[in-house]
């Protein structure tokens, strides 16, 4: 990637060229003689890895926005700064979330799969009937950058916007999205046709969507998760999908990635993508640029701009 070339020019950098996460031993080895570690979301930055950094490690400059794979408390306790890449992947991730909304509601993937199997018999009045988006209600859980970018796309498709967030958006933002705020998530659940998870994974949002909340959803509603698998109780979601108490789900994230629960693979009413919300050349380059900016700031003795 061009950004790796740039990093090699700027810093005394060592790369994991395999494109796959390192295990704990590999990470501990990598930090043992580094000032800065640049992990991706697949690298588990445990207390053990952090302590292997000794007194030298000063910055964990995450290549990505979610930081739930980093033991923040251990980093803080050792005075290590953690940064991420906010903003860089907003639009692409919102594109992917909107794609999942469209794909699950309109059954596009099912249509293509049928055609590829050679089973298409021609246009038919009742074949592959999906659900219209126009006039339906989208509920966004976590109305940050990505949630808002999704809301903009959804409005263009005729959906009304509802949201639940830790805090209410400033009035002009809420107005520009024509969005209705629900202080209580439980109150929003029965009112919406599509629920999109766009909040970060934290101890507070772990299993935010569990069996009881799923049971509050309409029977023909869809759930979209492009944030983190742990926010939804995956077993409860699978049970709801198997029983048909919700109509379907679109997922880009899973519990225990890259493992995908075999029960999900068997279900017809789910669209499954391999955590690829930010997977474009432009966005991965922009993420790398943010990492470089954060490292450069530290090297200059300044506060890195994307400190978490
Ligand atoms: C992607 O999921 C990220 O956190 O950057």
CA proximity to 36, closest of 85, 83, 68, 87: 83
pLDDT tier at 54 (50, 70, 90 boundaries)? confident
Residue-averaged pLDDT of the chain: 97
Give the pLDDT confidence score for residue 291 in this predicted structure: 98
Over range 176-199, report the average pLDDT: 98
Give the pLDDT confidence score for residue 19 in this predicted structure: 81
Q: Is 275 a catalytic residue?
A: yes
Reading phi first (left if > 0) and then psi (alpha if -120 to 50, else beta), residue 87 is in left
Question: Ligand 1 centre and the CA of 40: distance in Å?
Answer: 8
Over range 25-45, report the average pLDDT: 94
Is the beta carbon of 278 within 6 A of some atom in ligand 1? yes
Bridge partners, residue 179, by sequence? 161
Question: 3 pLDDT exceeds 90?
Answer: no
Give the pLDDT confidence score for residue 232 in this predicted structure: 98
Q: Is 243 a catalytic residue?
A: no
* Non-local CB neighbours of 274 within 8 Å, separated by 6+ positions: 252, 258
Give the pLDDT confidence score for residue 283 in this predicted structure: 97
Over range 146-175, report the average pLDDT: 98
Ligand 1 atom closest to the Cα of residue 67 is 4
Point out the least confidently predicted range of 19-23, 56-60, 66-70, 208-212: 19-23
Give the pLDDT confidence score for residue 212 in this predicted structure: 98
Give the pLDDT confidence score for residue 279 in this predicted structure: 98
Buried residues in 168-181 as b, exposed as e (16+ CB within 10 A): ebeeeebeebebee
Question: 53 pLDDT exceeds 90?
Answer: no
Q: What percentage of the chain reaches a pLDDT higher than 70?
A: 100
Is the beta carbon of 88 within 6 A of some atom in ligand 1? no
Structure pTM? 0.96
Give the pLDDT confidence score for residue 269 in this predicted structure: 95
Over range 268-278, report the average pLDDT: 97
């Amino acid at each position: 990637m061009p950004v790796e070339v740039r990093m090699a020019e700027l810093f005394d950098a060592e790369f994991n060229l395999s494109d796959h996460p390192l295990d704990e031993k590999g990470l501990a080895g990598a930090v043992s003689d580094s000032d800065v570690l640049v992990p991706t979301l697949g690298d588990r930055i445990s207390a053990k890895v952090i302590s292997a950094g000794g007194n030298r490690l000063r910055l964990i400059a995450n290549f990505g926005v979610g930081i739930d794979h980093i033991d923040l408390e251990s980093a803080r306790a050792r005075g290590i700064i953690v940064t991420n890449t906010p903003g860089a992947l907003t639009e692409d991730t919102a594109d992917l979330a909107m794609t999942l909304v469209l794909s699950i509601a309109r059954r596009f993937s099912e249509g293509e799969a049928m055609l590829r199997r050679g089973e298409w018999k021609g246009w038919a009045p009742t074949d592959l009937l999906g659900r219209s988006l126009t006039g339906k209600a989208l509920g966004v859980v976590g109305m940050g950058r990505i949630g808002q970018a999704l809301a903009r796309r959804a409005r263009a498709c005729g959906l009304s916007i509802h949201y639940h967030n830790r805090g209410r958006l400033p009035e002009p933002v809420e107005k520009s999205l024509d969005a209705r705020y629900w202080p209580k998530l439980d109150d929003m659940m029965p009112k919406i046709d599509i629920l999109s998870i766009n909040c970060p994974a934290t101890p507070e949002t772990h299993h935010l969507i569990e069996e009881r909340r799923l049971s509050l959803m309409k029977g023909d509603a869809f759930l979209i998760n492009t944030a983190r698998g742990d926010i939804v109780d995956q077993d409860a979601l699978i049970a709801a999908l198997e029983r048909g108490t919700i109509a379907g789900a679109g997922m880009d994230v899973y519990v225990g990635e890259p493992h995908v629960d075999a029960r999900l693979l068997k279900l017809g009413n789910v669209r499954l993508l391999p955590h690829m919300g930010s997977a474009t050349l432009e966005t991965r380059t922009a993420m790398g640029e943010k990492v470089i900016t954060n490292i450069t700031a530290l090297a200059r003795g300044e506060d890195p701009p994307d400190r978490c």
